[in-house]
A = this chain, B = another copy of it.
Amino acid sequence: MAVEKIGVGMIGYKFMGKAHSHAYKDLSMFFPQAIHPQMLVICGRDETGVKQAQEQFGWQSCETDWRKVIANPDVGLIDINAPSNVHKEIAIEAARAGKHVFCEKPLALTLADAREMLREAQQAGIKHMVGFNYRFAPAVQLARKLIAEGRIGTIRHFRAQFLQDWLTDDQFPLVWRLQKEVAGSGSHGDLNAHLIDMAHFLVGGIEEVVGMSETFVKERPKPAAMSGLSAAGAAGGEKGEVTVDDATLFLARFANGALGSFEATRFAAGRRCANTFEINGSLGSLRFDFERMNELEVYFTSDEEDVQGFRRVLATDPAHAYAEAWWPPGHTLGYEHTLIHEVVELMEAISENRQPVPNFEDGVKCQQVLDAVELSVAERRWVKVQEL
């Protein structure tokens, strides 16, 4: 039987565009049974830039008008990793054209937009996916499995932090991610979004929240020039206002009675990309830190009483998700593998004619909590998620 193929058109070609391209490129080598993505066309506004990306990443062609990509009859899947403020328009047009959509997080800038995207996708009957890639680390998949099998018992606590440090220096320039009109939000939408999705994946729905937000450095040097993630301070030393949050923390109550604590910051010196969680249940506990993404720490109350302790489980054994596709035990994976696994899920869902997970519903649920926290910060009160 011939393996199915699907033509992919990608909108966006920067950091996430590269990561997604790599996922499509590597997929069939490690997961040969999955539908084979055909890297047909990559699209960006800057003709030189996208042309270079096309060649470097291995796409067949490039394009500057995303409508033409959607119109291309060979394209069956639209991958959106362009800036967040264009997600909605592209996703809806793609859905209306009957194309499957894989959209980076955040799904949209507002909850209303996210809901509209979901509605359109559902009406069109397409497959839709949202890029919460951290779910796809094998160690996180193991956490999910242990919880689903009841091996951790009733969950009491979920405490999660996404700690980065790239803004610690107050002379770091005013890049676009620090401007609300472009980025929508700061650490909250960027980092808490991942934590909230992780909470949904592992614990379940959140009922109410109360939060706190801060912009520690309110003015930064305007960059002289800016490209991608890098930027240099202006010669004139002119400053501009930072209009997003540097850090946002919130407490949460889950529908199942668990208590949650969330924190996102870009000011945690020494923490490069510490996307961490700890879960305490009635039968055990789990701990994860993305900086050691191959490991899950696992504790069971049922262990013999003289040898109780957190186990450092390296999720590279045959018993672990995706491990058979890769290398022998102890040969670890990296960040980019989460993207590849994400695409595996997408291809399997298309092949099995079901929705991939996480999809736009998960994107909407995440946005709802994000907005509830922002409302809580603004009004200094507890906010029920269903208020929104």
Binding site for B on A (CB under 8 A): 15, 18-19, 21-22, 25-26, 28-29, 32, 55-58, 142, 145-146, 156-157, 159, 161, 163-166, 168-170, 210-212, 214, 216, 229, 247, 249-251, 253, 257, 259, 261, 263, 265, 267-274, 278, 280-285, 290-294, 298-301, 303, 305-314, 316-320, 327-337, 380-382
Task: List 14 contacting pairs A-B, 8 Å CB cutoff, sorted by A.
Answer: A32-B55, A142-B307, A157-B265, A164-B330, A169-B301, A212-B253, A214-B257, A249-B261, A267-B280, A268-B285, A273-B328, A291-B294, A307-B311, A331-B334
**Which of B216, B261, B285 interacts with A156 by CB under 8 Å?**
B216
A225 shortest CB reach to chain B, Å: 18
A245 shortest CB reach to chain B, Å? 11
Establish whether residues A311 and B309, one from each chain, have CB atoms under 8 Å apart when the complex forms: yes
Q: How far is the CA of A225 from the CA of B257 in the complex (A)?
A: 32
Q: Which residues of B contact A165 (CB under 8 A)?
A: 280
- Given known contacts A273-B328, A280-B265, A380-B382, A309 and B298 CB-to-CB distance under 8 angstroms: yes
CB proximity of A220 to chain B, nearest CB, Å:
14
The count of identical subunits is 4
With a CB–CB cut-off of 8 A, which chain B residues contact A312? 309-310, 312
Q: Tell me, in angstroms, the Cα distance from A251 to B18 when the chains sit together.
A: 38
The docked-state distance in angstroms from the alpha carbon of A28 to that of B333 is: 20
Given the known interface contacts A259-B247, A381-B381, the answer about A332 and B330 at a Cβ–Cβ threshold of 8 Å is: no
A146 nearest CB neighbor, chain B only = B307
Provided the pairs A308-B317, A317-B306, A335-B327 are in contact, do residues A269 and B29 lie with their beta carbons within 8 angstroms? no
Q: In the complex, which residues of chain B have a beta carbon less than 8 angstroms from the beta carbon of A285?
A: 268-271
| Interface hub of A26, A268, A308 (most chain B Cβ within 10 A) | A308
